Structure 1
Amino acid sequence: MELRHLRYFCAVAEELNLTNAAKKLFIAQPPLTRQIKQLEEEIGVTLFNRHPRGLTLTPAGQYFWQHAKQILSKVSVTIEDTRRVAESGKIVFGIGFVPSVFYGQFPTMVRRLRQNNTAEIILYELKTRDQLDALKTGKIDIGLGRIYINDPEIEQTTLLQEPMLVALHKEHPLASKTITMAELAKLPMILYPAGQSPTFADICIDLFSRNGLNVRIAQQVNDIQTALALVASEMGFALVPEQVKRMTRDDVVLVQLEDKSITSPVICSRRKEPYSEIMQAATQILDELVENQKNGRYS
């Protein structure tokens, strides 16, 4: 089996039409049909169900497609990182993050790791689910997010539980007091991020549903910055992690919840493999920064 077989298969799996896939690959349809048939014969399974008007993936085909995409992505990342190493002579260390964790201590980790002359630090803004995919392909080496996703190839560690705050317009009637979840349920909510579950938005909705409360979603947006801008426009409230206090707006206040047990985790994701020297350094820095944050010390 060659990489071109995987590329051909992925193109057909995406299009579910041999004619369209052949056009996408800039090859004729008959040789593409032969290559797919040869791939199925080599593996010993049927990857596609053939229908008069197109194709569908078999269960085996679905499984193979998922892993074929990871293999191709891994190859692409490996080539890109090899070129970087050749140019800089440094190890490539990728960090994935959701924006809300970078308002607190974690930029310090990046700054300190960049002082290591043997490593080139590359940052990627990624949702937690995307971080896990990026870890598997080698695009990143560590991910910082807020969602637990069970995956046998990935280890996830909770670094800390961060208190949640309520973002309100500064002139809102509730802006000067602690707030209950029941009071919030009566207000329109700005939810973030948009996209495939699970996300931080799911955590926020679950906080209400666990208390038997429904909440009215006024708007769902992609990021926390946009959510705060809509709060400033008096469109509703947003739930935000405590770290956001370090990024202030004059027209938005952050108010404590009456229930202090309502928190959001900060989760570190890594591949299940022995730690490299740079990973050991990153882990040590993270442990130190988390301890600082727990004790109210900020670098």
Structure 2
Amino acid sequence: MELRHLRYFVAVAEEKNFTRAAKRLFIAQPPLSRQIQQLEEELGVELIEKGSRPLRLTEAGTFFHAHAQELLAKAAELKSMTQRVGKIDRTLSMGFVASTLYGLLPDIVRHFREQYPTVEVTFHEMTTMQQLKALKEGTIDVGFGRVKSEDPNIRRIVLREERLIVALPAGHPLALSDTPLSLVDLLMETLIIYPKAPRPSFADQVLGVFSERSILPHKIMEVRELQIAIGLVAAGEGVAVVPDSVQGMKRNNVAYRALTDRHAVSPVMFSVRKMDTSEELRNMLETIYSVYDRAGISYIRESL
């Protein structure tokens, strides 16, 4: 059984017609029919109900169709990822969530460029889930995100756990003191979360922190991105729980306060294609650890 057999069968199953499937595959109908017949003979089961109009799959055919689609998708991902790894030009394409730009990512990239000036570094702002898709499609080589999500084709390294803080409108009663706040203090506030989509996202991470304390905010407002959330906080529309590094986004009408809750943290994730151990990625990881050392940030060292 070869990949072409899977492609042929999936086309027939989706078109529910041999003639349309043959046109889609750019082959004649008789050879297509023979290929499906050979596939059934090899498997020893019928995949298509004989004489059905429109064409219907047997129970075995339905099972085979679902798994054939999955295998074809994995084959396509493998092709894209291998082509990216084998690219001759020395480039490093990075996906990142917006909040990492207010932390150490700019320092990391600057140091990397100083040490490896011949490597072209490009940037793509995208959510963590978009990064996973882009890695598999070969669009980027490394992603810096925050949401923990499992994918068999992606390796994820937790670089550090960053404290969460709360952004408040300047002049808000809770902003008048430097005393750290508790999540309970935010119970009656409008909680502004981001991004609105795609999910899961940092928004779900923040809601999860509240849920762990069995706290349900009085009102929740979902917005598209971090900058909009901070802008609405400045306008007095509510408060937002954000990573500590967002304090780098200086605004006169926004105050930041620490949170006392120990579990109020957000991981910074380093995501790469599984088994991709290219020199550029190894050097980037070492640069990250070097910057962390200089900043006195604790971490657990991993290698590719």
TM range (shorter): 0.7 to 0.9
The offset of 1:103, in angstroms, is: 1.2
CA distance 1:275–1:176, change in 2 (3 Å): same
**Structure 2 residue aligned with 1:95:** 94
Matched position secondary structure for 1:219: strand
**Structure 1 residue aligned with 2:223:** 221
The offset of 1:237, in angstroms, is: 0.8
Deviation sequence 1:234-288 (CA, Å, 0-9, x none): 2211110011111111211111113355211111122332622212210110111
The offset of 1:228, in angstroms, is: 0.8
TM-score normalised per structure 1: 0.76
**Structure 1 residue aligned with 2:122:** 122
- For 1:41 and 1:65, the matched residues in 2 are separated by 19
- For 2:29 and 2:170, the matched residues in 1 are separated by 62
**Structure 1 residue aligned with 2:140:** 140
- For 1:167 and 1:283, the matched residues in 2 are separated by 31
More displaced 10-residue stretch of structure 1: 90-99 or 184-193: 90-99
- For 2:280 and 2:292, the matched residues in 1 are separated by 18
In structure 2, the gaps of 5 or more residues are: 299-304
Out of 243, 262, 267, the residue aligned to residue 265 of structure 1 is: 267
Matched position secondary structure for 2:188: coil
TM-score normalised per structure 2: 0.74
8 Å Cα contact 1:70/1:137 also seen in 2: no
In structure 1, the gaps of 5 or more residues are: none
Provide the alpha-carbon RMSD of the alignment: 4.0
Identity %: 29
Counterpart code for 2:132: L
**Structure 2 residue aligned with 1:65:** 69
The offset of 1:113, in angstroms, is: 3.4
The offset of 1:77, in angstroms, is: 7.2
The offset of 1:31, in angstroms, is: 6.1
The offset of 1:150, in angstroms, is: 2.3
CA distance 1:68–1:261, change in 2 (3 Å): same
CA distance 1:234–1:273, change in 2 (3 Å): same
The offset of 1:120, in angstroms, is: 2.4
**Structure 2 residue aligned with 1:161:** 161
The offset of 1:53, in angstroms, is: 10
Matched position secondary structure for 2:181: coil
Query: Is 1:248 the counterpart of 2:250 in the alignment?
Result: yes
The offset of 1:51, in angstroms, is: 8.5
8 Å Cα contact 1:142/1:269 also seen in 2: yes
**Structure 2 residue aligned with 1:292:** 294
Deviation sequence 1:48-101 (CA, Å, 0-9, x none): 99995999x94543443345345446656777898x85xxxx223222211111
